[in-house]
Amino acid sequence: MNKSLLKVDNLTMKFGGLTAIDNLSFSANNNEITSIIGPNGAGKTTVFNCLTGFYKPTDGEMLLSKDNETIALKKFTDFKIAQKAKVARTFQNIRLFPAMSVLENLLVAQHNELMIASGFSIFGILNLKRYKDKEREAVEKAKYWLDIIGLTNRADDNAGDLPYGDQRKLEIVRAMCIEPKLLCLDEPAAGLNPKESSELNKLLEFIKNDKKTGILLIEHDMSVVMGISDHVVVLNYGKKIFQGTPYETRKSKEVIEAYLGVDE
């Protein structure tokens, strides 16, 4: 199987006179975690916004290998990013559906399959067998993920009532319910305590090893980045200043200068 998953080529994003991303090239592989780090305002989230169709890049290509073909992510916008290109993302702040139950949050992510099976819900109202089977499958899948994050006993509680750390994990498994090829996580460890953050590491390692998914991670928590990344891409002012393994990154002079400044 082809290992390469995402290839970002000369990506440039300009807002008027401001160049948020400047000729950025990097690649990410299947079953690996690629971290994007950099000081505030380096353009990390902008990269995600380009990948998930929020922004139309000024220039450059973003190529995703999917089932032996290569697709250009630029051509996908809106719901097609998740439905067709199979790219999922989370945000810096929690974006669960707080007034829905934990289980329902995971079922929403499987909407497209259910919608077809239920004949646009007509069979759903009539409660036909065909729909019931499909729904049972969807619930099974949701339960599988709830088991992994240990929230099975809270399946019927509202998602908004969960503790913060659990909400973070639920958000990640909800994204996994659309069976993404590429999972983009924007600061998943923000606001987590050390225990929760080590649980998050375990979850991400599980996804990386057991699912056919590549993970792209924006993170400021260096214990997460250094602990689980396979590759690190360092951005500063929209430019890539370094790329390498976590160990190499820690030693790199450019990275230290970007974070701490240069000695005069």
Partner 1 sequence: MEYFIQQLINGITLGSIYGLIAIGYTMVYGIIGMINFAHGDIFMIGAFIALIALILFGLTGIALPIVLFLVLLITMLFTACYGWSVEKLAYKPLRGSFRLAPLISALGMSIVLQNYVQVSQGARVKPLQPLITGGLEFFKDSEFIVTVSFLQIFIVILTIILMSMFTILITKTDLGRAQRACEQDRTMTSLLGINVDRTISITFILGSSLASVAGMMFVLYYGVIDFYIGFLAGVKAFTAAVLGGIGSLPGAMLGGLLIGLIETMWSGYISIEYKDVAAFSVLIITLIFFPTGFLGKPDIEKV
- Answer yes or no: are the C-beta atoms of 141 and 114 closer than 8 Å: no
Rounded least distance, CB 105 to partner 1, Å: 8
CA 43 vs. chain centroid, Å, equals 16
Question: Would you say 74 or 239 has its CB closer to partner 1?
Answer: 74
Spatial distance between the Cα atoms of 164 and 192, rounded to a whole number of angstroms: 8
Question: Would you say 118 or 236 has its CB closer to partner 1?
Answer: 118
Sign of CA dihedral 92, 93, 97, 103: positive
Rounded least distance, CB 118 to partner 1, Å: 6
Rounded least distance, CB 76 to partner 1, Å: 11
- Answer yes or no: are the C-beta atoms of 232 and 244 closer than 8 Å: yes
Nearest to 107 by CA among 141, 149, 79: 141
Rounded least distance, CB 253 to partner 1, Å: 38
Rounded least distance, CB 181 to partner 1, Å: 13
Question: Would you say 161 or 254 has its CB closer to partner 1?
Answer: 161
Question: Would you say 217 or 255 has its CB closer to partner 1?
Answer: 217
**Axis-axis angle for helices 164-176, 129-149 (nearest 10):** 130
- Answer yes or no: are the C-beta atoms of 74 and 80 closer than 8 Å: no
Question: Would you say 34 or 52 has its CB closer to partner 1?
Answer: 52
Give contact residues for partner 1 (rule: CB under 8 A): 52, 78-79, 81-83, 88-89, 91, 95, 97-100, 104, 107-109, 111-112, 114-115, 118, 120-121, 124-125, 135, 174-175, 178
Rounded least distance, CB 216 to partner 1, Å: 14
Question: Would you say 37 or 146 has its CB closer to partner 1?
Answer: 146
Those residues with Cβ within 8 angstroms of residue 10's Cβ, 6 or more apart along the chain or in another chain = 23, 24, 25, 59, 60, 61
Tell me the HSE value of 37 on the side-chain side, using a 13 A CA sphere: 26
